Chains A and B, each alone.
Chain A
Amino acid sequence: QKEVEQDPGPLSVPEGAIVSLNCTYSNSAFQYFMWYRQYSRKGPELLMYTYSSGNKEDGRFTAQVDKSSKYISLFIRDSQPSDSATYLCAMSVGRTGNQFYFGTGTSLTVIP
């Protein structure tokens, strides 16, 4: 059973576009939802996290969680070439040393 599903892309958008990245999941016990950004041959870097359902905004980034649909999204407004990377969603059941379940990652290229 695949815990987390994510469209691998690749996704290519012009600079300034709004980008929508999505993941679905099957485990209703997930409560923490994270988005990581990974540049080529680097480790994942935490962008944002949300707990349970709802929206969270940080600058140009907005994370949404819909637990009823088991669906999470990351929106990037006014996308920049520096946003070009692979975006990974990750989820966990709890806080204490729990493993994170990652999606496959979506490769994003923002064209100047």
Chain B
Amino acid sequence: EPEVTQTPSHQVTQMGQEVILRCVPISNHLYFYWYRQILGQKVEFLVSFYNNEISEKSEIFDDQFSVERPDGSNFTLKIRSTKLEDSAMYFCASSTNTGVLREQYFGPGTRLTVT
């Protein structure tokens, strides 16, 4: 069964450093998303991406964040200058362009620890 994959599974970085989180969505999906989940808190939407542009973003997704689909398979989230409060689990999700509900399939997540 096709699945969303994410790398790395765990990333440790120092405050102020740039990190890139990588995702490979399901191959025939056209919508891509990033969510984050701070430990013990709810899953929060960051951004959705379609047709090579951001279609929606939350107030969390400020100028330090960016997304890119550099090739036909990868979808990345870049955090330019990490802060301690960026420590969280980051989930990538993807969905199709058809169906009653464009169900979002989630990857296993990347745990980001900022020290």
Stretch at the interface among B67-75, B76-84, B96-104: B96-104
**Min CB distance, A3 to chain B, in Å?**
10
A101→B45 contact, CB < 8 A: yes
Label chain B's interface by main secondary structure. strand
Inter-chain residue pair count (beta carbon < 8 A): 69
Kindly report which residue of chain A lies nearest to residue B41, judged by CB atoms.
A104
Interface size class, chain A: 20 to 34
CB contacts (< 8 Å) of A36 on chain B: these are 106
A20 to B55, CA, bound (A): 35
Partner of B91 from the list A32, A43, A96, A101 (CB cut-off 8 Å) is A43
Interface size class, chain B: 20 to 34
A43→B103 contact, CB < 8 A: no
A45→B55 contact, CB < 8 A: no
B 84-115 contacts with A by CB, 8 A? 89, 91, 93, 95, 100-109, 111
A49→B48 contact, CB < 8 A: no
A45 to B48, CA, bound (A): 18
Question: Does chain B have a CB within 8 A of A75?
Answer: no
